[in-house]
Structures are given as structure tokens and as C-alpha cells.
Amino acid sequence: MTAETMSDGDGYSRELWLNAVAAALGLTYSAYRQLRAARTLPPGPWGVPFLGYAPFLSNHCTYLKYNELARRYGPICSFTQRGNTVILLSDHKLIKTAFDMKQITGRPNDGYMDIIGGYGAVNSTGKLWESQRKFLHLVLRHMGMTFTGHNRLNMENRIMIEVSTLTETFHKTCGKPIDLNAGSLCLAITNVISSLTMSVRFEPNDPRFERYMHMVDEGFKLFGMLRPVSLFLPRRHITDERNIQEKIKNNHQEIAKYFQSIIEEHRSTFDPNSIRDLVDAYLLEIKRSQEAGTMDQLFQGLDPNRQVQQILGDLFSAGMETIKNTILWAMVYMLHYPDVMTKVQDEIDSVVGQYKSPVLDDYPNLPYTQATLYEVLRKSSITPLGTTHATTSDVTLNGYHIPTGAQIIPLQHFVHNDPNLWDEPEAFKPERFINAEGKVKKPDCFLPFGVGRRKCLGETLAQMELYLFFSTLLHEFDVCLPDGDELPSMDGQVGITLTPQSFKVVMKARNK
Ligand code: HEM
């Protein structure tokens, strides 16, 4: 052995030794932090150093694993995951208490947050989120997102244009099996939100629509992949994570470019006395702020173009998949429970009449139809884990100390299936939402739109759309299973929302 190889060997063993010491120190510190936190945090499972509980969570159906933890540890439970504290809430009263607290209105600071840079409404926090929520509420209400005001007729007309186009398309299918998840339903729902926000209505086979949907769809899939990958530390996954993040970023930039072209088009034809849509409402806000010299305060000094782009993206992603999937689930349940479908149709026929289409004014007089939609929302629980919140400062919840930056997850699917709250939760029973006087009741443990300060901003719009699409479809068609097909599964596919597995229906025109 030469002196040179001897010294190489010495260097190597010194490096190994140093690594071992660093690892031991790291493990001790991680165990110390876990022990110290365990004294004040809610009960929960132990994890392994550094990774916490992450290795025990499967990439698939995380919500079912969380439900299991809730059953084992009770209404508030915690674990760590890659150094982050995660709190699971499975009691609806506790979820309400937590989500009413200002300190729990944050959003997790994850990889996606880096990409969107804190812009928008769904993932923004603090003053920007507060001001945007207020502004959007105001504008959307003005545009007709209300069941009571006069402006509701504008929103109703906007939605009914899309409902009528959809039913016309279904009539043309002449009883042939159709895949509802592909094409016309998606186009109709996209057109409601895109006409409202940017006065764009796509035609079938419009390449812009196809490209746009492709990017959104891919974005959802990639986003779904990003979170599970980032749970696991091994180095090979870090590269995967970077690749996914890079793809999301490119995708996000392409969509942003499309939105920017829409903003520019609006700028060139902008008339402050005639506000056409949400983009115009933002342009007016920007104009007023420029004139008042307060641009440094508007959007907390952030880039106005990026803010408008992100708002368009937010409303689209929050308001399209959710509605589409709820209608798809409604169709799945109608196939499984044709007696419910008949009861809805009978109610509409007797209240609205056979030859007139249901309108918003009929809504309060159609309790069974409304209750059926509630039962669809409960049973499908398309957002089984709601949307994750984060603490913006240390907070005490149910006697436990929750640190700043902790992720708070409401177990909506658990609450909607809790046998202590619902009689036979696995059954599909719209009657559970109807009281002794035959009126619709909405129990506190029914939270498809979330609760508290960040509850769904588009809830009223969602209810208007769900009602108008669902009631018109059932009024005009029997939803039937194609000959020889099996009933679709009632287990959802996990993505950003729970989606029914692919299925076909025959929309058979009713003999009226
Ligand atoms: C069936 C339809 C829908 C369901 C089930 C649903 C559900 C939800 C849920 C669970 C949240 C999270 C609440 C939280 O953070 O605690 C949310 C947030 C939100 N939803 Fe919806 N939503 C629906 C439709 C819509 C529509 C049509 C719009 C369009 C305007 C919309 C806009 C939003 C926005 C902007 C937020 C973020 C609110 C915030 O962070 O302050 N949603 N929604």
C-alpha cells in the first residue's frame, strides 16, 4: 500500500465518520423536536426521524388513511411530515371553530405556492386574500351570483344558454351511449365560468378550448403528483419533484400567456361605463387605483397583470372541475337509484309543469330535487379533504398548542360518512335532508363547501349551476345505462377532486 492510497483511505474513513456523527446529531435533534412537540400537540402516530409519518401514507387514497387516523386518535390528531406539523380535524364543530379563526386562514407554503408566487384568491393569504375575497364577492354578486337580488336573472340567463346548448347536443345523440366526461358537458360548464370571467364562449372542437383543457387537465394531474412525491425524501424523488415542478411551471406560464392575451384584448376595447365581465371589473379597479396614485397598495404592490391572470386561473380551476364532477356523480347515482330519478322528475313535472323548463324561481318549491343534490354532494364528497389551511401564527385549538405554519386538514369525507351523524351514511337517501314539514334542512355537519372565513366563495353560483343543469337534464331526459354495460362504480378516482370512474349513459328523451 502506498502512502497516497493510505491517505485516501484515511480521508474516506474520516468523511464516513463525520457523516455518521452528522446523521446521529440530526436523528437526535429530530427525535428531540418530535418529543418536545408531542407534549403540546394533539395525539397522533409517531413517524421516523426527518420524514415523520410520510412513509406510512400511501400516494393513493390518502383521505382513507386519514379517516383511519381519525378513528384511532379522535377528533383532532397530529403528525409530522418532512418537518411540517399536520393537524387532522374530523369533528365538524371543531372544524368550524378552527376555520372561523383568523390565525387559521393561511395556506401551506408548498412547491405549488412557489410557482404561483402568492397571487390570486385561492392560495393567497393575509391582506391580499382578504381584499380579493371581498372584491370578488362584490363583483360576482353584482353579476348575479345571488338567489334574491334582481341581478340573478343575468346569471340565470348566462347559465341557461349553456344548459340549452347541452340539452340540444344530447337530443342529437338520439339515444346513443355517450361519455359525459368527454366533450359537451365539460364545454358547457367551462363556458359558464369563462363567459362570466372573460366573455369567452368556446365552440365544440375549438382548438383553443382543447389546448386549454389539456393544459388544465395536465396541470391537475401534475399537481396531484407533486404532493405525494414531495412526501418522500430519497434523492431520486427529489429529481422527479423538480421535473414535475418544472412542468407545472411551463404549463402555468402557457396558461398565463393565454390569460394575458385576453387581458390585452379587454384593455383595447375597455369602456369604464360598460363593464362586461370580471376582467373589466379588474381593469376598472386598476384604472381607479392608477388615477388615485395608490398602485402600491392595490394587490399589496404585486404585479396587477399577474394578479388578474391568477384570478382567472383560480376561478376556472375552483369552478369547473367541481361542478362537472358533481354532475357526473349525480348521473352515477341516478343510474344506481332510478327510483330517486323518478321522484325528482315527478316533482319537477308537478311543480314546474311538463312543458316548461325549471327556472331559479322554482328552486324553493322543489325540495326533493334540492335534497337530492345535497345527497349527491354529501355522498360524493368530491373534496374529501376540503382544502388545506395553514396557521399564520401560533394558536391554541381545543387546548393544544399548534405552531405557526402547521397544515390544518378538514376531513370532510369522514364527517360526511360518520355513522354518529348520519343514519346509514353509505346509503343514498335524499330524504335525510328533508324535515317533518317537507322543507329542506341543512345540518351543520354538511360541509361540502367548507366552513368559516375561507368557505367556498362560489357556493351560490355552484348551487345555481347544479340546480339548473341537473333539473333541466332530468326534466328532459331519462338517464339510462347502455345495453350490456355494468353500473358504474361508486368508488371515486383520486385526483384534485374525487372523480367517478369512466362510464357511459344513454340520455333518452322523455315522452312528455
Ligand atoms: C360543487 C361545486 C363546488 C364545491 C363542492 C366547492 C368546494 C369548495 C371548498 C371545499 C373550498 C375550500 C374552502 C376552504 O378553504 O376551507 C372552496 C373554495 C373556493 N371555491 Fe369552491 N366549490 C365549488 C364550486 C365553486 C365555484 C363554481 C366557484 C367559482 C366562483 C368556486 C370558487 C371558490 C374559491 C374562489 C375558493 C377559495 C376561497 C378562499 O380561499 O377564500 N367554487 N370551494
347-379: per-residue pLDDT in tens? 999 999 988 999 999 999 999 999 999 999 999
Any ligand 1 atom below 6 A from CB of 133: yes
Amino acid residing at 325: N
Alpha carbon nearest to ligand 1 atom 40, residue = 122
Any ligand 1 atom below 6 A from CB of 139: no
Is pLDDT above 50 for 147?
yes
108-118: per-residue pLDDT in tens? 987 778 888 89
Ligand 1 atom at minimum distance from 133 CA: 41
Task: Provide the pLDDT for residue 5.
Answer: 46
Cα(485) to centroid of ligand 1, in Å? 34
Cα(450) to centroid of ligand 1, in Å? 8
Cα(315) to centroid of ligand 1, in Å? 9
Task: Provide the pLDDT for residue 228.
Answer: 47
Cα(462) to centroid of ligand 1, in Å? 9
225-255: per-residue pLDDT in tens? 665 444 444 444 556 677 787 888 888 899 9
Any ligand 1 atom below 6 A from CB of 90: no
Minimum mean pLDDT range among 159-163, 202-206, 364-368, 458-462 = 202-206
Closest CA to 225 of 47, 450, 414, 62: 62
Task: Provide the pLDDT for residue 231.
Answer: 45
Is 456 assigned to a binding site?
yes
- Compute the average pLDDT of residues 486-509: 91
The CA distance from 181 to 488, in Å, is: 13
How many Å separate Cα 310 from the centre of its chain? 15
254-275: per-residue pLDDT in tens? 999 999 999 999 999 999 999 9
For residue 31, how many other CB atoms are within 10 A of its CB?
Answer: 13
Alpha carbon nearest to ligand 1 atom 35, residue = 457
The CA distance from 29 to 200, in Å, is: 55
Any ligand 1 atom below 6 A from CB of 120: no
Cα(27) to centroid of ligand 1, in Å? 41
Q: What is the mean pLDDT of the chain?
A: 90
Closest CA to 62 of 30, 33, 86: 86
215 pLDDT tier (thresholds 50, 70, 90): confident
Ligand 1 atom at minimum distance from 383 CA: 10
Any ligand 1 atom below 6 A from CB of 315: yes
| Cell numbers representing residue 468 in the block | 339548473
Minimum mean pLDDT range among 56-70, 141-155, 479-493 = 56-70
Minimum mean pLDDT range among 30-44, 331-345, 462-476 = 30-44
pTM equals 0.91
